[in-house]
Amino acid sequence: MSEIIELARRARVASYALAEASRATKDAALHAMAAALRENTDTIVAANAKDVATAREAGTPESTVDRLALNPARVDGMAAGLEQLAGLTDPVGEVVRGYTLPNGLELRQVRVPFGVVGIIYEARPNVTADAAGICLKSGNAVLLRGSSSAAASNEAIIAVLRDAAESTGLPADVVQGVPTDRAAVKELMQARGLVDVLIPRGGAGLIQTVVGESSVPVIETGVGNCHVYIDADADLDLGLEILLNSKTQRPSVCNAAESLLVHSAVASEFLARALPALAAAGVTVHGDPTVVAASKNTSAATDADERGVVAATEEDFGTEYNSLDLSAAVVESLEDAVQHIRRYSSGHTEAIITRSQAAARRFTQAVDSAAVVVNASTRFTDGGEFGFGAEIGISTQKLHARGPMGLPEMTSTKYIVIGEGQIRT
């Protein structure tokens, strides 16, 4: 038997105990895991230092090294995350719906754990504790397949978490690490029936690989080519503030805006204000011909503004930059904005800025993305902001879960049917 099959079978056995564990047991385990992380800070930071040294030797970019690096404050943050999970409602056992059938059968649809969840992620060791905690709270045994560049860190963290879980009476195998070699991840993706769902967390490349190669059901997360549309009836002050916030408040994340659409009726007025403001914020605008022309015609244009606007290619409109870049186009109507979004969006988050009730209603109806926002920043599409308390990722697929995934999205359901001898006739 291969190592992955063996790990998955052990996870399955552990999942039976975990599925029946009470909230009190699971919360005690989360607190024990948090305390153990804090107690073992030195060991974890020392293991992480090896990964960081290896990464630096390999010439890894410093931004990647920063995501990889742990210090006592970051370990404390991981522990605090687990404690926060302990405070959240247990999704398992929630009655989603229930009623009595005409024949007297009592029907209840209740939330149950998936069973075994695989998480495939990149070189961010904090995800190890975070994903383990979310899976444990939702009653799922987890197989954690992190990056080889974080192998020492993850090994240290997983050892601590397993011991802590076991100390509270849960099987250690509720949390297991998966070897980081390519063969192992391929096997994990083919373990249909043994692994109930795979969740890739990371960049578009990782997600596309998992989606393309996995026979285990996958939940896609996190690719966001988000749009801000300034309607003909927009409050332009409010539009500018929301655009700047959506683009620049944290440009590296999936709910940051990547594309601006402006209705032609307000384009010259809005662009005359927005282009200098974007340039001042360090944003490079990849504009369609109208936007490029606007940048030149603006009487107030300075050299800095012109430097901030370049001609967009077709590819720009489909790009998730994750940087201080923004594609921009002028559209003739709200319908054209909808068409543009249907063509280019990744289905994450789109915002309309308008004072018109009809325009807001039309946009929210016609745009089919995980989140459709009226008069607010795209940056709110987030499990924390939505009040979920925890988030395993933001689903951009339509099956099972769409948008921020909290604890309930980490469960399946089953029907419990109680009778007193009913048969079908």
- Which residues in this chain contact a copy of itself in the complex, by CB under 8 A? 16, 19-20, 99, 101-102, 105, 107, 109, 112, 114-115, 192, 196-197, 211-212, 215, 217, 219, 235, 238, 241-242, 245-246, 249-250, 342, 360, 364-366, 368-377, 379-381, 385-387, 397-400, 402-403, 412-425
In terms of CB distance, is 75 or 367 closer to a copy of itself? 367
Q: To the nearest whole angstrom, how small is the minimum distance from the Cβ of residue 192 to a copy of itself? A: 7
- Shortest distance, position 198 Cβ to a copy of itself, whole Å: 10
Q: Which is nearer to a copy of itself, 79 or 240 (CB)?
A: 240
**Closest CB to a copy of itself among 54 and 249?**
249
What is the β-pairing status of strands 284-287 and 309-311? parallel
Q: How far is the CB of 58 from a copy of itself (least distance, A)?
A: 33
Q: Which is nearer to a copy of itself, 114 or 321 (CB)?
A: 114
User: Which of 295, 344 has the CB closer to a copy of itself?
Assistant: 344
> Residue 170 Cβ, how far from a copy of itself at the closest point, in Å?
16
Quickly count: other Cβ atoms within 10 Å of residue 262's Cβ.
Answer: 30
Nearer to a copy of itself, 73 or 423 (CB): 423
Is-contact 246 380, C-beta < 8 A? no
Nearest approach, Cβ of residue 360 and a copy of itself (Å): 7
Which H or E run includes 270? helix 264-280
Minimum CB–partner distance for residue 234 and a copy of itself (Å): 11
Could you tell me if 234 and 262 are in contact, meaning their C-beta atoms sit under 8 angstroms apart? Answer: no
How far is the CA of 184 from the CAs of 4, 145, 292, 370, 392, in angstroms? 7, 9, 49, 32, 23
Task: Report in angstroms how near the CB of residue 306 gets to a copy of itself at its nearest.
Answer: 27
CA separation for the pair 393, 227 (Å, rounded): 20
Residues paired with residue 106 on neighbouring β-strands, in sequence order: 100, 418
CB of 196 vs a copy of itself, minimal distance in Å:
5
What is the separation of C-alpha 359 from the centre of its chain, rounded to a whole number of angstroms?
A: 29
Which is closer to a copy of itself, CB of 112 or CB of 188?
112
Residue 9, Cβ density class (10 Å: 0-12 exposed, 13-18 middle, ≥19 buried): middle
Complex with a copy of itself: residue 72 or 98, whichever CB lies closer: 98
Residue type (1 letter), 93 = G
Three-state DSSP at 393 gives strand
CA distances from 214 to 27, 56, 140, 331 (A): 32, 32, 20, 39
- C-beta of residue 114 within 8 angstroms of C-beta of residue 196: yes
Hey, what amino acid is at 175?
V
Is the Cα torsion angle 338, 340, 343, 344 positive or negative in sign? negative
